[in-house]
Structures are given as C-alpha cells and as structure tokens.
Amino acid sequence: MTGTSLPADLTRATAAGLAQALAAGEVSAVEVAQAHLDRIAAVDGTRDADGVATGKAVHAFLHVCAESALADARAVDDARAAGQPLPALAGVPIAVKDVMATRGLPTTCGSRILQGWVPPYDATVVANIRAARMVVLGKTNMDEFAMGSSTEHSAYGPTRNPWDLDRIPGGSGGGSAASLAAFETPLATGTDTGGSIRQPASVTGTVGVKPTYGAVSRYGLVALASSLDQAGPCARTVLDTALLHQVMAGHDPMDSTSLTGEYPDVIAAARAGATGSLDGVTVGVVRELSGDGYQAGVLRRFEESLAVLTEAGAKVVEVSCPSFTVALAAYYLILPSEASSNLAKFDAMRYGLRVEPGGVAVPTAEQVMGATRAAGFGDEVKRRIILGTYALSSGYYDAYYGSAQKVRTLIQRDFAAAFGQADVLVSPTSPTTAFPLGDKLENPLAMYLQDVATIPANLAGVPGMSLPSGLAEEDGLPVGLQILAPAGADDRLYRVGGALEAILTARWGGSVLDRVPDLSAALATAANGATR
Amino acid sequence: MTVTDTTEAVLAYDDVVAAYDPVLGLEVHVELNTATKMFCGCPTGFGAEPNTQVCPVCLGLPGALPVLNARGLESAIRIGLALNCEIASWCRFARKNYFYPDMPKNFQTSQYDEPIASNGFLDVELDDGSTFRVEIERAHMEEDTGKSTHVGGSTGRIHGADYSLVDYNRAGIPLIEIVTKPVEGAGERAPEIARAYVSALRDLLRALGVSDVRMEQGSLRCDANLSLRAKVPGAAPGSAQQRAVPLGTRSETKNVNSLRSVERAVRYEMTRHAARLAAGLTIVQETRHWHEDTGITTSGREKSDAEDYRYFPEPDLVPMSPDPAWVDELRGTLPEPPPQRRRRLQTEWGFADLEMRDLVNAGAVELVEATVAAGAAPAAARKWWSGELARRANADGVELAAMPVTPAQVAALQGLVDAGTLTDSLARQVLEGVLAGEGEPADVVESRGLKVVSDDGALGAAVDQAIADNPDVADKVRSGKVAAVGALVGAVMKQMRGQADAAKVKALLTERLAPADSTTDVSTS
Amino acid sequence: MSAISREEVSHLAMLARIDLQPDELDRLAAQLDVILDAVATVTQVAGEDVPATSHPMPLTNVTRPDEPRPCLTQDEALSGAPAAEAGRFRVPRILEED
C-alpha cells in the first residue's frame, strides 16, 4: 500500500520520499524493506558456497541480511505505532560497504583473508546508522581492501554495472554504486581513499560525496590508507546524499583525526541548491583536470555542465593547480606505504584465514603468516604491499615517502590558492565512462589513471562530490561531474550540486537513472533461487 | 651464526679492566601505572583472566583506531622533566613495522626521530657516596606487547615448543623507553654504575608515582648494551684520549630483571667480550639473553640488515604539541629528587647511615615517612617496617609496600603501645590481626581481647595465685633473692595470657613478697 | 630511481611476510619497475624548503581521559580466532624471541 507521494514501485522512491511516507504512515518500514529485498533477489544474482558470484547479475551485495533487515523494519513500525519519536530516516533501507565493521554481520573487505570474519563491534558510522533506525539490507562488494577502480579485485567476483552488465561499476565502492543504480537500495555507504566513492558514482550515474577528512569517523572502517580514507554517503539524488551525510558525520572521540566544532548543514544547502540559483558563486575550472586523456563524451558533458552553472548565475573562472600533475604519483607512494602497514595485521593469528604451508611438519608462526598472506591476498593487494614496503624501507624513505609527503604540501597550497579565486572547483570526476570488465586488469597503471582527478582531494583532505552530468554520446553511459570545496565547506558541494541537478533533471525531464536498462527481465533466469 | 648456547670463555675481571675500557648503553622500559592502556580504555591491572582486558583497539581488530591516553602523555613529560630533558615542542608517534605474534597490529606504535623528551641526565649515587652523571639520550612513549606462553617441547621454553598461547591483556599498556647516551668513563665500576643507574631511575620513577617499578613483574625492564674498546695506557677512563678510541661492537643483553642481575650481566658481558677480543675473535652484534640461574648470557637474535622497521609517522594519531605553560605546571609537580630527599629525611629522623640504607634497600622510606606523618616516632616507625613487617614480607615473598597494612595503621598500633594499651608482644599479635584483614588495630584489640590488663584486682588475684602455686620461689624472694621474682612474673604473665604489664606485675610481686618487717597488707581485694 | 630486481622483490616479500611464488616475483619485479618509473616524478618537484604533510588536517593534542571503558568479553575477543586454548589465542610455534 503506497501513498500518493510515492511511486508504485517502492524501489524507485528517493530516501527523502520514503522518509516522508514512512513518517506519515503511508507505508510501513517492513513493506519498504521487503520491496528492496525482493528487488535484490531479482537482480543481484547468486553466489556459491565460497561466496563467489555465479552467473551474470549485478552482484552488488556480498551479504544480504534479510532477516535482521525485516526485524529492524518491524521494530521501527512498532515504535511508530507506539507513538515513539523516531529519527528522520527511520525505516529507510541502506546498504553498507563491506569495509565497515558490522557487529554480527560478516565483514570481508572483499578479501579471502577475512572470509567468515564477524566483527564483535560496530564501526561508528554503522552505529550512527543504527541509531538513526535505518534498515541495513546487507554488505556491498568492493575491490579487495578498497584497492582498485573496478571491483574486479574483489575475491568474490566483480560487481557489474547496471547500465551494461559487461562493464565495471567503478571501484572500490562499485557494489554500493551499483546497488543504487540497480534500485536495490535508496542509500549506501562508501569510503573514498582516492576516488572510491566518486568514481563509482560517476560511472553508474549516481551521487557520491567524500566529506572533509575527519568529518565522518573512521573508527571501524578497515583502513586502507589512514591519512586518505574518508567515509561518505552514496545515493541517487543530491538531497538523499545530504540526508545520509548528516547521519554519518559528527565528532567521534574514538577517532583521533575526527574534527570538532561546527559542521555545516548539508541538508539545508542541498535544499537551497535545488532552487537552481547560484548567484554570487564563483566556480573554478581546474586546468590540469581535463583535456588530454579524457574521453570526448566526458569532456562534452563537462562543457555542458559549465554552461549550466553559468546559466544558474555562477561565475566560471579558470584556475591552475600545477602540482596536481604529480598527485597521482604521490598518491601511489603514500597509499601503498600506509596500506603495507595497515594490512600487516592480517596474519592468521587472531582472526580470519589461516593457511598452513605444505611440506612442513610443525610450521612456525612466521611460515603460517607467509603462507596465509600469499593465499589470502589477491594480486593487487600484494602489489601495493610490496610497493609500500619498498617506499618505506631504509634508503628509499626520503626519496619516495618523504618526497610524496612534500608533494602533499604543494597540493594543499595549490588548493588554498585556487580557493582564493573560487568558491568551488569543478572537473570531470573520471576521465572515462565505465570500461569493459577485464579491460585494465593487466595494466595497473591504466587502472590507476581512473583516479587522476579525484586523488588531489584526498591528499589535501578537502571534500568532493560526484553527480551525474548526463550520458556520453559515444557509448550512452553516465558521466560524472566533480565538485570540490575547501575543507569544512562540504555544504558548498550540496549547494552547487543541488542547483546543477535541479536544472539538468528539469532539462532531461527526469533523472539520468530513469534511463538505466530494465534489469529484471534480462536477469529473471539468473536470479531464481536465494541470494546471499 | 657461530655463537652457540654453550658457556663461553671469559677473562678474569681484573685483566678485563686492565686492558679494556667498557662503554655502556642502558635501555629501560617502564610500564606506566595509568588506569587504562596507552591508546584505548582497557584497564591495566596485573593478573586478570587472559584476554579479558582487551578491546578492538588493543586486539588490533580491523578498523579500530588509537586515541592517546592524556595521563600517559603527562607521565611521559614528567619523567622527561625529572630526567632533566628538553620536552619536544612538537612531536609525533611513529609506526615501527615488524611481524610478531604477540604484537596485534604487527607494528608497534612508538616514537622514532621525534621523542617527547631528549637530552637529559640523571646523577647516580654510588655506594661510596660519590656521584656519577649518566646522560640521557631520550625518553619516548610506546605500547607494550601481549604475552606468549610456549607449549610442548621438553622445556616449555621457546625453542622446541609445539605451539604458543597468546594473551593480549598486556598489549597496549603504556611504556616509556628511557635510553642513555653511551656511558663512558665508568671503567672498572661499569657494572656497579649500571646497577646504580637502574636503581636511581627506579627510585625516581617511584617518587614520581608514574609506575609500580616492579622488576620481578616486568613493569621495569632493562636491556644492557655493552662494548669494549682498547684501553689507552695511562689515560684515565673518560679522558679525551680514551674517548677518542672508536667504540667496539656491542651486544644487547635482554631479560635483566633485577638490580643484581644488571650488575652481574654487565660484568659477565665484559668478561665474555674481553675473552673473545683477547683471543682475536670478533664480537657479534646480537641480542643476548641473561640467565639468572647460571649467571651467563646466551646468544639470541643476530642483528642484521634484514631488520628494517620502516618507521613512518603514525597517521591515526595527531601530532603532540604540549603547551609550554602546561609543561611548566608539570615541572612544578616534580618530587624532590630521591637522593636529596633521603639525606633530608635521614637528618630529620636522626638515623645512622646503615639504618637509612637498610630502609632504602627495603623500599621502606616512603612507608616510614607516611608512618611518621601519621604520628609515630621515627625510630618506632623504622622498627616496625624494617623489623617485623620486613620479616613477614620476606617470608611471604612480597614487596613491603604490598603488605596489607597501611602506614596509618602502623602508626595507630604504635600509638596503642605508647599509651600502654599494648605491650610489644601484644602489638605483634594485633598486627597479625590487621594483616589478616580483621580491621583497624583498635578493632583487633577489641575482637581478640588483647588489651593489657591493668585492673589491679584481676592482677592482684593472679599474683596471689602465683605466690600460692610457687611457695618455694616466693620464700626465696622473701629471703632477699630478688632475682627469683622473674619466675613468678613469668607465671603471672602466663596466667594472664600475656595481657599484663610486666613492670606492674613485678611491682605487685615485690610488694607482696617484701621482707617480713614490712607487714602492711596492701591487697585491697 | 631505476630497476627493481627480482632479489629486491624477494627481500620485500620477506619483510611483508608474503610467500611469493617464483612467477609472482618475476611479474611483480616487472610491474613495480613500471610503477616506480611513473611515480619517480615526486622526487623532482618539491624542494628542501617544502615541509612534509603527514596529516591532512592540522590537528594536535588529541587525547582521551584515563578512564576505563568496557572491554570485550573473552569469548568475543576469541570469537574470530583460528584456534584458541585456555582463554588464549593458539598460534603456531614462534621461532625467535624478540
């Protein structure tokens, strides 16, 4: 039973719409949860006993917790029936990236080495989501330990892009982005170390925000690169993204790098943006983040977005950030260095996989560690651990890690100068649209280039958003626009993003995602049977 | 590796110091007595059930993050100040990366090139009353590891074990590592100086109140580095001429867990190094393990190039920049330096050097001070703590300070003696009751009925009884053999189960048994 | 910054406790070479006078009060352990004492 404010198919509703209908009693949380679980069953596909994806389907989820989701939903309905006050998003479904520790739910980070691990605690973000009485549907697929831009590095098989099942959904948070584009959930969480929220949003036609470093607690996020990681919201609209952002963000005494003090009201900013006016806003176009290496259709949509921003009243200026050209290089030294240390804890002693080496009667701890890490980590993880070990080793530290940290200073200075000239900066989020599965697997450097425009924000800690700017003419696939703001000014992303979204959807007569091909029919055969 | 676990040749000590100049380096790890661990809120108590004082942070669970214990930082700064160090105006933690099963994250959160405290010194008093200055290189913060038990094999030791069991209760307990600069110029006194340094450091840390400093429980641990270099004929230890000789290869002796062991281990390593050098062999740069039972060290891990800790600034903890005003405030909380304090107290209390040294060695200075503060006379306080209580602590194998009696209780006990309520012998029985947890001294006197009987009636009856029971002795006394009264006093005391004032008993007996010319009956019963 | 040898990769794998197979060593040596070549630009851009940035936000002095918080139970602590015995994590024999 749905009220007049909701579409007949509940999975097509926005989180804002669902929240309103739930609060008004037009629909129950159980109905909403069931609709999304049904959708997941219909399009997500199946997995074998080892958790590996079977057949061609979206495979956005590594783990679906239908039972607890329905129980949580029922509890929300009961509370509402009893007249208890509930948070705004109570009963709204959400998918959680598998990098976040969830008490009682498996958390694998897409890695074999954590297969079967059930954390005894919740990440702060997850605790915030539970406190908001949102309904967790399950855990989403990702590149192993968030290393990758395609989810092909997941040990449990790739997630496929709902726009074209033979293409990647971006990464590392391809599972979360695909689950949104496939209408399996209205909201999802992500983490962004070099673009893992924004690039998947870009190639799936969804919205994703990497908040200011420290705005969202990192406690309970399995660390990739501690000084770069930042969790953030993923959704299908700017407003929905803001709603989740508000739930996730906030000071956490369990995270030393968590920011204190006033945090801007991103929801109000999103609503203000939706009026479509950007009078008095200066938008800077970063010269170094477009041009060579960017797909023609991506650049076309970017130019169009600039025109729209101007139309909305914004002043568009060009800015230069020369050190951005070495951002990728610095990133691929800092990230592996920190990752090599963060991933040392996976050693078969306290949790996770334990593999005994062959040919040894009573193996030593050292031998078991070596064998387990060889068997439990995939190629990309090994590659980055070895690279990081190298960059930190004595004799190379100053040249590599030390120099990369200096580049970080230069990038911060470039941002400071650019934000002296503009309120926000813009660029294409990703140089290309979604590429075919397998296309870049054998060429790590080509894969790394996917993050060329998103990485500077992580190095400097500033917030960034990706939102749809339309489809590329040559392949009909979504293109994302990236908006960057100064640290702490996350609201500006929503103001500008909200305006652009309002104008573009009005122009298109709907959302980009209205044009996602119909999945259910194509997958009907693949998806019969239980999903996990 | 050519060095094996067999006993090595050693050179006679006199020959060692005649030919070589020893250079020491001492690394002391001290566990802070904070209520919680360095980076999480788990308690730090000793002896809990395994893996019950752990959380996602100190277990190194994926996703967990550290947050610095404010008191840990404060203690580190106070230690640095007490060691006359400069306190860093800005410093960071660093990760020391290496794999070991008792280290949950496979990196230790430590400090590398930015220690909280550096460039200090500690003046160490030696047995002959002279002072030796030990220069401090640095003091930095880090975290402890878990504890492994090795199972199987024949010895239960690490070699030959089938597997190990790990308890992470200790993992994450705050540690301060205090590292000396090379200690030069010690000469033949190197072993004594090593011991005296650790002892002085222990006293200082105890006075600061930052650690339990129990070497036997591992809350104070010492690693002793030693190298020898050729002695320059005629040059004094520590002279510029001697210092110009390059340092020799050093060994690092671990597991030195008592003051006496520090001295013995350094002495042993000097004789071992010298024997090798004299035989034309090289010293292997390695870790060595000290064996308390046999008094020797054996080879451990060889320090090699393979060791590469890949230090980098800990991104999960933010830099520390202690406010100078706060540091000054902490400077104001520093205790009087222990040697100075000891001299002051000795003068105040009027103790002989030997008496004072016994108190120091027994770790009883603070206890006596507190007992005196609670009202006891210094001599009486000393008598309790270095007498009866030291004897009992020794018998029970516990530290004096760990005895279940407070200085206030000791003072109260002495107060009862001073008031004549208890005799010394009764007081010891009351102490026993206090130690057994029966309450305050006054409660024990009451519940055990141990008060001295001064009621003349009861005493008189006992005296009369004793005279009646021992007519021969009584006659002897009457006839002038006054010394014989002792036997009768004993009889009365026995009858009163010790609860009588012996002097009063004697007086009553003397009255009763006065020579015949004094016939007045003083008995009022 | 030039070639990284197979031996070097083998040494790094030892430091990182990953038993790499011979073919992996070869492949990684070649890939790391390409990657290191590409990232070598970082060594050329920043001068001596540029300070290093280890943390993106300039926070300092973040501490917590020395107050106990709830621990995990022993069962929770050991819940993920590949092997446990007597309330402790059971691990393979340890070769060298540190």
CATH number for the domain harbouring residue C39:
1.10.20
Residue A119 sits in a domain of what CATH number?
A: 3.90.1300.10
Considering only CB atoms, which chain A residues are within 8 Å of B104?
345, 350
**Is there a single domain that holds both residue A90 and residue A127?**
yes
What value does the mean pLDDT take over residues B244-271? Answer: 93
Considering only CB atoms, which chain C residues are within 8 Å of B319?
54-55, 59-60
Share of chain A above pLDDT 90, in %: 91
CB contact under 8 A, B318 and A256: yes
Considering only CB atoms, which chain B residues are within 8 Å of A397?
310-312
From the list B42, B163, B323, which residue is nearest C90 (CB)? Answer: B163
User: How do beta strands A424-428 and A282-286 pair?
Assistant: parallel
Judged against a pLDDT cut of 60, whether residue A205 lies above it is answered with yes
Considering only CB atoms, which chain B residues are within 8 Å of C17?
99
Pairwise CA distance, residues A483 & A502, whole Å: 15
Please pick, among A149, A172, A290, A511, the residue that the annotation labels catalytic: A172
What value does the mean pLDDT take over residues A279-295? Answer: 93
**Is there a single domain that holds both residue A267 and residue A301?**
yes
Residue finishing a domain among A355, A374, A406: A406
Residue A225 binned pLDDT confidence (cut-offs 50, 70, 90): very high
Judged against a pLDDT cut of 50, whether residue A530 lies above it is answered with no
List helix spans (H) across B351-484: 353-361, 365-373, 378-383, 389-396, 407-418, 424-435, 441-448, 456-469, 471-478
User: Which residue in A has a C-alpha nearest to residue B317's C-alpha?
Assistant: A256
The predicted structure's pLDDT at residue B396: 87
Average pLDDT taken over every residue of chain A: 95
Considering only CB atoms, which chain A residues are within 8 Å of B60?
345, 350
The strand pairing partners of A465, in sequence order, are A209, A483
CB contact under 8 A, C91 and A409: no
The predicted structure's pLDDT at residue B479: 83
Domain count for chain C: 1
Question: Are A471 and A298 in contact, with CB atoms under 8 Å apart?
Answer: no
Domain count for chain A: 2
Q: Does domain B456-512 have CATH number 1.20.120?
A: no
Is A97 labeled as catalytic in the residue annotation? yes
Does residue C95 lie within any of the structural domains?
Answer: no
Best residue in A144, A349, A354 for a mutation probing chain B (most B CBs within 10 Å): A349
Does residue A532 lie within any of the structural domains?
Answer: no
Q: What is the pLDDT of residues B129-173, one digit of tens each?
A: 899 999 999 999 999 999 999 888 755 556 667 899 999 999 999
From the list C60, C71, C86, which residue is nearest B319 (CB)? Answer: C60
Q: How big is the CA angle at A167 (ends A165 and A173), to the nearest 5 degrees?
A: 100
Residue finishing a domain among A406, A428, A462: A406
**Which residue range forms the structural domain that includes residue C27?**
6-45
**Is there a single domain that holds both residue A358 and residue A482?**
no
The predicted structure's pLDDT at residue A13: 97
Minimum distance, in Å, between the CA of residue A223 and any CA atom of chain B: 6
Does residue A3 lie within any of the structural domains?
Answer: no
The predicted structure's pLDDT at residue A105: 97
Is A393 labeled as catalytic in the residue annotation? no
**Is there a single domain that holds both residue A347 and residue A475?**
no
Does residue C68 lie within any of the structural domains?
Answer: no
Average pLDDT taken over every residue of chain B: 89
Residue A91 binned pLDDT confidence (cut-offs 50, 70, 90): very high
Does residue C20 lie within any of the structural domains?
Answer: yes
Does residue A229 lie within any of the structural domains?
Answer: yes
Pairwise CA distance, residues B424 & B228, whole Å: 56
From the list C40, C45, C94, which residue is nearest A407 (CB)? Answer: C45
Q: How many CB atoms lie within 10 A of CB C40?
A: 16
Question: Are A118 and C80 in contact, with CB atoms under 8 Å apart?
Answer: yes
Does residue C27 lie within any of the structural domains?
Answer: yes
CB contact under 8 A, B163 and C66: no
For residues A187 and B3, the model is more confident at A187
- Comparing B280-294, B300-314, B433-447, the range with the smallest average pLDDT is B300-314
Q: List C-alpha distances in Å: C70 to A128, A181, B44, B210, B256.
A: 19, 41, 13, 24, 35
Does residue A1 lie within any of the structural domains?
Answer: no
Pairwise CA distance, residues B253 & B27, whole Å: 10
Q: What is the pLDDT of residues A160-182, one digit of tens each?
A: 999 999 999 999 999 999 999 99
Highest mean pLDDT among A473-477, B123-127, B491-495: A473-477
> How far is C-alpha A252 from the geometric centre of its chain's CA atoms?
21
User: Per the structure block, which two tokens stand in for A254?
Assistant: 């369990």
CB contact under 8 A, A344 and C16: yes
Residue finishing a domain among A353, A383, A406: A406
Does residue C74 lie within any of the structural domains?
Answer: no
- Comparing B366-380, C11-25, C84-98, the range with the smallest average pLDDT is C84-98
Judged against a pLDDT cut of 50, whether residue C11 lies above it is answered with yes
What value does the mean pLDDT take over residues A76-92? Answer: 97
For residues B364 and B106, the model is more confident at B106
Q: Show which residues on chain B lie within 8 Å of chain A, measured between beta carbons.
A: 56, 59-68, 95, 97, 99, 101, 104-107, 162, 164, 166, 308, 310-312, 315-318
User: Which residue in A has a C-alpha nearest to residue C76's C-alpha?
Assistant: A120
Q: What is the pLDDT of residues A348-405, one digit of tens each?
A: 999 999 999 988 888 999 999 999 999 999 999 999 999 999 999 988 898 899 999 9
First to last CA, chain B: 92
Q: What is the pLDDT of residues B329-367, one digit of tens each?
A: 999 999 999 999 999 999 999 999 889 988 887 888 889
* Count of CB pairs separated by less than 8 Å, A with B: 101
For residues C89 and C45, the model is more confident at C89
CB contact under 8 A, B161 and C61: no
Conformation bin of residue A315: beta by default, left when phi > 0, alpha when psi is -120 to 50: beta
Does residue C58 lie within any of the structural domains?
Answer: no
Does residue C87 lie within any of the structural domains?
Answer: no
**Is there a single domain that holds both residue A202 and residue A280?**
yes
**Is there a single domain that holds both residue A401 and residue A412?**
no
Which residue reads 């006075």 in tokens? Answer: B207
The predicted structure's pLDDT at residue B522: 45
**Is there a single domain that holds both residue A402 and residue A413?**
no
Which of A304, A238, A226 shows the shortest CA–CA distance to A274?
A238
Cβ of residue C45 closer than 8 Å to a chain A Cβ: yes
The predicted structure's pLDDT at residue B7: 67
Pairwise CA distance, residues A234 & A97, whole Å: 10
**Is there a single domain that holds both residue A451 and residue A371?**
no
CB contact under 8 A, C90 and B168: no
Backbone angles phi, psi at B339, to 5 degrees: -65, -40
The predicted structure's pLDDT at residue B154: 58
User: Which residue in A has a C-alpha nearest to residue C5's C-alpha?
Assistant: A390
Q: What is the pLDDT of residues C84-98, one digit of tens each?
A: 999 999 999 987 654
The predicted structure's pLDDT at residue B116: 98
Residue B253 binned pLDDT confidence (cut-offs 50, 70, 90): very high
Q: How many CB atoms lie within 10 A of CB B33?
A: 17
ipTM of this complex > 0.90?
yes
Judged against a pLDDT cut of 80, whether residue C14 lies above it is answered with yes
**Which residue range forms the structural domain that includes residue A140?**
10-326+408-523
The predicted structure's pLDDT at residue B294: 92
Pairwise CA distance, residues A306 & B121, whole Å: 65
The predicted structure's pLDDT at residue B136: 98
Does residue A279 lie within any of the structural domains?
Answer: yes
Element (H, E) at B23: strand B20-31
List helix spans (H) across B26-115: 70-82
Judged against a pLDDT cut of 70, whether residue B32 lies above it is answered with yes
Does residue A529 lie within any of the structural domains?
Answer: no
The predicted structure's pLDDT at residue B302: 66
Judged against a pLDDT cut of 70, whether residue B426 lies above it is answered with yes
Q: What is the pLDDT of residues A141-153, one digit of tens each?
A: 999 999 999 999 9
Residue B490 binned pLDDT confidence (cut-offs 50, 70, 90): confident
Please pick, among A111, A154, A196, A430, the residue that the annotation labels catalytic: A196
What value does the mean pLDDT take over residues B42-67? Answer: 97
Secondary structure, 3-state, B351-387: CCHHHHHHHHHCCCHHHHHHHHHCCCCHHHHHHHHHH
Domain residue extents for chain B: 13-308, 338-448, 456-512
Question: Are B79 and B118 in contact, with CB atoms under 8 Å apart?
Answer: no
The strand pairing partners of A95, in sequence order, are A138, A188
